[in-house]
Structure 1
Amino acid sequence: MAALALAFFVTALLYASVGFGGGSTYTALLALAEVDYRLLPLLSLACNLVVVVGSSVRFGRAGVTPWRGAILLTGLAAPAAFIGGLTPIGEAGFLALLGGSLVFTALSMLLPVAGGDPTRPTRFTRSMPLVAVPLGYLAGLVGIGGGIFLAPLLHLVRWNDARAIAATASLFILVNSLFGLAGQVVKNGPGRLGAAVELGLPLLVAVAVAGQVGSLLALKYLPQRWIRWGTAALTAWVGGRLLLNL
């Protein structure tokens, strides 16, 4: 458990520094540790919430959250995340979908961030709310917040500057994790949620501390490029391991 807690700490530190919760990698790490796959979304979403609550508050207090756009994207995705959490899925399909999503996400994070004036967005920016619904459903289905899918798209269309996108992803993950967790609890019962939290209490403590440090680094210290590359490398490694173990 100590090694797993350390892996969760590093994951939360990296992901929180770019506005993410880390749910996708938590789930993959738990799967590699051979934890019952039915507990994975519950524990990962709980860890997500612990990380992004602090991140969202910190970003909001710093005045970098673009509330109007962030609330629109999040409001469209949240009901779909609840439905995704309710959707039954087998172990093989769950792990394949998660592993493939991680590898795809890692590749997308290596794409160059669009430059230029964020107040002059590309012509695709207005269509971004349309992608919120499928991203929310996928997030609820595999037990993550979905910000790791949303943020690269926002960067590609120059939706806003890097810190505003990180703040938006953090809020997106927070709300989707709540709705996705609700769907998972309805599907599996509250007893399984209790078992997941009891099993993962050290992991929750680790990500709580790392999440606060990571969001502070994002606002004040580390270059975003370094953090993105480190997060992409970790995500690709875990996703690849997961797919190879199928």
Structure 2
Amino acid sequence: MIWLAGLFAFVAFVYASVGFGGGSTYTALLALWGVDYRLIPVIALLCNIIVVTGGSMRFIRAGLVSWPQVMPLLLVSAPLAFLGGLVPLKQWIFLTILGGALLASAIALLLQPEKLSARVLPKPLLLAISGGVGLLAGLSGIGGGIFMAPILHLIRWAEARRIAAFASLYILINSAAGLAGQVIKAGAQSLAAPAMEYGLLLAAVLVGGQIGSIFGMRYLSPRLLRTFTAILVGYAALRLLWQAQALS
């Protein structure tokens, strides 16, 4: 558990420094560690909330969140994240969804849409994507910022700092909504004792996330870390999809 906590702290540091929560990597590590699949989204969403809360507050105080711009996307994603958390899933279905989400996360990590020509995306389609990502967040424990940010960069939705601010807030809201659905589905009492066993992980992301959000990427290569994380997440995705195929 000490090794896993150390990895969680490092992941929180890396993701918090760029406004993300790290849900995709937490779920990958938990799956590789052999954690009960019913606990994976709960632990990952809790970690997301811990990591992005401080950053979201700082972004808001800095005036980087335009509420008229972000509210429509949040209003469609949060209810669907809650509903996603409520959905009971068989193990092979959960592993398939999680594996697919992680594989998409790995691809998103490798993309650099800010270097591409701007694309036009109709607002209804953007809202539909936000809702779909919210649903995925509640089902799998991935906050969704890692999917939305590349899309927003691609369409030049806002400057990079404002997109990072939105991603942080988006992850916070979706994670809270998805966690509420997960808790209602399983029952708070049934989750309390098992979740406490992984309390060290929550403490680890609290420390790593705070350091990352304050100091940012000063000494680490963002491209190298993004590539390494994509490889880890992609490997976990393929293993989960293989397991899901064996169970189906």
TM-score normalised according to structure 1 size: 0.88
Which residue number corresponds to residue 60 of structure 1? Answer: 60
* RMSD of aligned Cα (Å): 2.4
Contact map agreement 2:81 2:139 (CA 8 A) in 1: yes
Structure 1 distance, partners of 2:147, 2:2, is 29
Q: Show CA shifts across 1:76-116 (max 9, x none).
A: 10000111011111111212221221122211222222248
Once the two structures are TM-superposed, the CA of residue 146 in structure 1 deviates from its matched residue by: 1.5
**Pair 1:164–1:112, CA change in 2 (3 A):** same
- Specify the code of the residue in structure 2 equivalent to 1:132: S
Which residue number corresponds to residue 242 of structure 1? Answer: 240
**Pair 1:227–1:72, CA change in 2 (3 A):** farther
Further displaced range: 67-76 or 45-54: 67-76
Contact map agreement 1:163 1:219 (CA 8 A) in 2: no
Which residue number corresponds to residue 47 of structure 2? Answer: 47
Structure 2 distance, partners of 1:24, 1:196, is 21
Structure 2 distance, partners of 1:37, 1:116, is 37
**Pair 1:67–1:225, CA change in 2 (3 A):** farther
Structure 1 distance, partners of 2:207, 2:26, is 15
Structure 2 distance, partners of 1:217, 1:112, is 23
Could you say what secondary structure the match of 2:34 adopts? coil
Which residue number corresponds to residue 123 of structure 1? Answer: 120
Q: Does 1:92 align with 2:89?
A: no
Which residue number corresponds to residue 132 of structure 1? Answer: 130
Could you say what secondary structure the match of 1:158 adopts? coil
Further displaced range: 79-88 or 152-161: 152-161
Contact map agreement 2:23 2:45 (CA 8 A) in 1: yes
- Specify the code of the residue in structure 2 equivalent to 1:124: L
Q: Show CA shifts across 1:116-172 (max 9, x none).
A: 89xxx6421634222111111111111221112211211221211222111111111
Matches within 5 A, 1:54-203: 54-115=54-115, 122-124=119-121, 126=123, 127-203=125-201
TM-score normalised according to structure 2 size: 0.87
Task: Count matched residues.
Answer: 243
Structure 2 distance, partners of 1:221, 1:180, is 34
Runs of 4+ in 1 over 6 A off after TM superposition: 219-223
Further displaced range: 102-111 or 233-242: 233-242
Q: Show CA shifts across 1:218-242 (max 9, x none).
A: 4877675555444434433433443
**Pair 1:226–1:75, CA change in 2 (3 A):** farther
Q: 1:206 aligns with which of 204, 207, 213?
A: 204
Could you say what secondary structure the match of 1:89 adopts? coil
Give the fraction of aligned pairs with identical amino acids, expressed as a percent.
49
Q: Show CA shifts across 1:35-55 (max 9, x none).
A: 211111111111111111111
